[in-house]
Amino acid sequence: MFESLRQNLEGIFRRLGGKGKVRDKDLRDALKEVRNALLEADVNYEVAKDFERSVARKALGAEVLKGLRPVEQVIKIVHEELVHLLGDAAVPITMAGRPPTIVLMAGLQGSGKTTHCGKLAIRLQREGHKVLLAATDVYRAAAIQQLQTVGEQAGAEVFTLGDRVDPVDIAKAAVSHGAAKGFDVVIIDTAGRLAIDEAMMAEVERMEAAFDEVETLLVVDAMTGQDAVNVATEFSRRLHLDGVVLTKLDGDARGGAALSVRHVTGRPIKFVGVGEGLEALDVFYPDRMAQRILGMGDLLTFIERAQTAMDAETALEMQRKLLEDQFDLEDFRQHLRNMRKMGPVGELLRMIPGMEQAQGLLPSDAEGEAELDMVDAVICSMTMKERRDPELLNGSRRRRIARGCGRSVQDVNIVIKQWRELRGMMAGMKGGQPVQIGNLRIGQPGAAPPGASRGTRRATRALKRR
């Protein structure tokens, strides 16, 4: 996500930083380029113009022009304005003073409402809530069955009265059932249409009006670009919208919808869907997203995903084995499977500060998944005895393993090499020494992130000084 915008901004700041002296005209030209980069990323035109004016107002001053590193200060201002544009801070779901909290999920058909009901249920259950899903889409074929399937996968009960009952009556009955059975959150999956129509809007309005206190979330497909902004504008005009859930953000290389929806509607983006799995739902943090747009990484989200993918006990056991040199190929396989729960490999690497600038070193998401498939296939072709004691893997065993998984002996050798490098890296870090793996140097205290450009390092330091 935001790939094209990030690359364009990086080029603009690199050219600006390459000038011996930054003049007023240089800044104005750079800010026009920033506006054009936003437009290319499918950001709403008025949003892009407002952003340009806001940055110009702060950047075109004597204090910036006389600064030691003008480009560094411009990046800092752009970061601040991006955070403001995206919403300043994360906005959680407002829990009702008297349970259950009613969450109304609205949106067009195909936006991902039903799936994201399940995703939200998983997240809230992890936070200790007891969640009930309510099926009120009585129009779309198999919509109720789809929510039941999603609910089963999410471990959440689904309430339904079939497809011959008024949706508003189903919602009311679901809330009454939830209150009686001790559910503190009821998520209502509403009906959608392929486009906005009066019947759909009137029904959602009736459902919202049926409750004194309700959290209304609009589910919007980020892949639809400017259409997403138009949909959000219309829903916010008709409903008391509390927030937006942006889906398929991982599939949108431009990301313009995220930068436009909040500004145009005045409603916060609360969650973003970042993958197909039911656990692929992130809280939307404006500051973290701004850092990712500027190529500064997003370590906090990386850590949170790691904590979700692996429980504390498993993580400690894995750490113990690594540090005590007991990490075998079976542990390596489990480690990679846990990584896959966190999201595509390419996306995870780009969350590490500085890795965005490691051009040519980062795999695409497809390449990363193919690599993990290969490693998993090779290790699964080994016997458990071989996984636990890799020293047994002589030439004949490696040939047998290659035949068993349909790979080459070279692939088997690569997997074993990767395992040895990981063990060697951990052994080096245990002694407090920096470790070199290919082109990357890891573990040196106070070192710049691997691959980081000078401008990124300076901007990161400037943000830390705030």
pLDDT tens digit sequence for 412-421: 999 998 888 8
Q: How far apart are CA 250 and CA 254, in angstroms?
A: 10
Contacts of 224 (CB under 8 A, 6+ apart): 231, 257
- Domains in the chain, CATH or no CATH each: 3-86 (1.20.120.140), 101-293 (3.40.50.300), 311-459 (1.10.260.30)
Q: At what angle do helices 70-86 and 286-293 cross, to 10 degrees?
A: 140
Distance from C-alpha of 316 to C-alpha of 320, rounded to nearest angstrom: 6
User: Quick check: 253 pLDDT over 80?
Assistant: no
For the cut 60, the answer to whether the pLDDT of residue 215 exceeds it is: yes
What is the Cα–Cα distance from 216 to 366, expressed in whole angstroms? 36
Are 136 and 105 within 8 A, CB to CB?
Answer: no
Please check whether residue 260 is in contact with residue 220, taking contact to mean a CB–CB distance below 8 angstroms: no
Can you tell me the distance from the alpha carbon of 318 to that of 304, in angstroms, rounded to the nearest whole number? 17
Q: What is the mean pLDDT of residues 69-91?
A: 85
**Cα–Cα distance for residue pair 365/66, rounded to 1 Å:** 43
Check if the beta carbon of residue 281 is closer than 8 Å to that of residue 112.
no
Give the gyration radius of the chain's Cα atoms.
Answer: 25
pTM: 0.67
Dihedral over alpha carbons 142, 146, 148, 152 (to 10 degrees): 150
The separation between the first and the last C-alpha atoms of the chain, rounded to the nearest angstrom, is 27
Task: Report the sign of the C-alpha dihedral through residues 189, 114, 257, 298, in that order.
Answer: positive
| Contact of 180 with 166, CB cutoff 8 Å | no
User: Are 83 and 266 contacting, i.e. CB atoms less than 8 angstroms apart?
Assistant: no
Q: For position 454, what pLDDT does the model report?
A: 46
Q: Nearest Cα to 294, choosing from 83, 79, 466, 86?
A: 79
**Residue 272 three-state SS:** strand
d(CA 99, CA 184): 5
Q: Is 398 helix (H, G, I), strand (E, B) or coil?
A: helix
Average pLDDT, stretch 324-343? 80
Q: Who wins on pLDDT, 457 or 75? A: 75
Peptide bond into 344 cis (omega under 30): no
Distances in whole angstroms, Cα of residue 319 to Cα of each of 147, 305, 325: 39, 17, 10
Q: Cα 301 to chain center, whole Å?
A: 8
Instruction: Inform me whether the pLDDT recorded for 54 exceeds 50.
Output: yes
Q: Tell which wins on pLDDT, 178 or 253.
A: 178
Is-contact 83 54, C-beta < 8 A?
A: no
Residue 217 to residue 242: CA distance in whole angstroms: 6
Contacts with 238 (C-beta within 8 Å, 6 or more apart), sequence order: 201, 204, 205
Task: Identify the pLDDT of residue 259.
Answer: 79
Beta bridge partners, 247, equal: 221
Q: How far is CA 393 from CA 119, 304, 390, 410, in A?
A: 43, 36, 6, 13
Q: Is 189 helix (H, G, I), strand (E, B) or coil?
A: strand
> Per-residue confidence at 450, pLDDT binned at 50, 70, 90?
very low
Compare 42 and 357 and report the one with higher pLDDT: 42
pLDDT digits (tens, 9 = 90+) for 82-138: 899 888 899 999 999 899 999 999 999 888 999 999 999 999 999 999 999 999 999
Q: Is the dihedral of CA 441, 443, 447, 453 positive or negative?
A: positive
Rounded Cα distance, 171 and 173, in Å: 5
SS3 at position 135: strand
Burial class from Cβ neighbours inside 10 Å (0-12, 13-18, 19+) for residue 16 reads buried
Residue 285 · residue 160 · CB < 8 Å: no
What pLDDT, in 10s, does the model give residues 358-411? 444 455 666 777 888 898 999 999 999 999 999 999 999 999 999 999 999 999
> Are the beta carbons of 226 and 45 closer than 8 angstroms?
no
